[in-house]
Amino acid sequence: MMLSDEPYRWAEAVANRRDYIEDQIRAGSPVVGVGYEDGILLLTLSQNQQKLFEVYDRITLAGIGHSTDIEKLRQAAIDMAHSIGFNYSEDDVTLRQIVYFGLGPAVKAGFDDVVHSPFLARVLLAELDGQEGAQIFYSVDYDGAFHRHEGWAVVGGVVEADVMMGRELSDLDTGALSLSDAAGAALRAWAMGRWVGKLDEVPTDAEQLDQMAGEADVADVLETELKDMEVEAVVLGRSQLGKNKYRNVDAEEIAPALAQFTL
């Protein structure tokens, strides 16, 4: 009887693990990635804590969740990128390799090991003009599942936040956007994701969630959150001189986009 009960106990432990992780990260600050005419923009809002990071010359990482776990994943991505670059060549460093053979398996192993603490984080990575295309993103979930995206990508505290943020971005022609327009779209998507993540109870019914989201005031959400948080944004820009395409975005560059939502 004990042996026959074992699979059910394991399944229950996994379900409890999911509930625990989602409860820990659901109210976190979402991350939005949007392609634009010169490259890729990653944007979030934060409170004196960096959430966007350089991994390699054309690769960047962002996360939602516990900062220590995001840091572990950041360091793992950097270590793998530099190991590939040292042992082979810089051209062999790809986001696909980092996710498929590094972060994905590592996060899955952490989630499956019910004895130890899992990674309390979801991460979003971006690569500019790599072997897979111009504006490529990978999201890695807390259970090690990963997904490839083109043009734009989001990571929120709950899946429903991802869905609603995605609807804000789905019609964008990312190759034609200015940086300011991309920032405006990213801010709107962020506000929607933040709004969903802060709901006392997130509807699982898509129609009900749509109806509630239609009544959300994203400008009010942003204005409220900006009282305690600041916009953090980085780009991978083609026009950036040298092989390293990563740079921080100045507040002045974001100001026109913010003006759409604040008084």
pLDDT value at 257 more than 50: yes
Task: Give pLDDT, residue 5.
Answer: 63
How far apart are alpha carbons 130 and 91 in whole angstroms?
A: 9
Task: Give pLDDT, residue 106.
Answer: 97
CA distances from 214 to 108, 146, 193, 196 (A): 35, 29, 13, 12
pLDDT above 70 as % of the chain: 97
Average pLDDT rounded to a whole number, residues 28-41:
98
Number of other residues whose CB lies within 10 A of the CB of residue 184: 20
Task: Give pLDDT, residue 2.
Answer: 47
**pTM of the full predicted structure?**
0.93
For domain 28-259, give the CATH number: 3.60.20.10
Write down the mean pLDDT value for the chain: 92
According to DSSP, the residues that pair with 56 across neighbouring strands are 59
Number of other residues whose CB lies within 10 A of the CB of residue 195: 22
Average pLDDT rounded to a whole number, residues 161-185:
96
Task: Give pLDDT, residue 133.
Answer: 81
Task: Give pLDDT, residue 1.
Answer: 43
Read off the pLDDT of residues 52-82 as tens digits, 9 standing for 90 and up: 999 999 999 999 999 999 999 999 999 999 9
Which tokens go with 150?
């083109």
Q: How far is residue 234 CA from its own chain's centroid?
A: 13
Read off the pLDDT of residues 174-223 as tens digits, 9 standing for 90 and up: 999 999 999 999 999 999 999 999 888 888 777 888 888 787 898 999 99
Task: Give pLDDT, residue 263.
Answer: 59
**What are the residue boundaries of the structural domains of the chain, listed by start?**
28-259
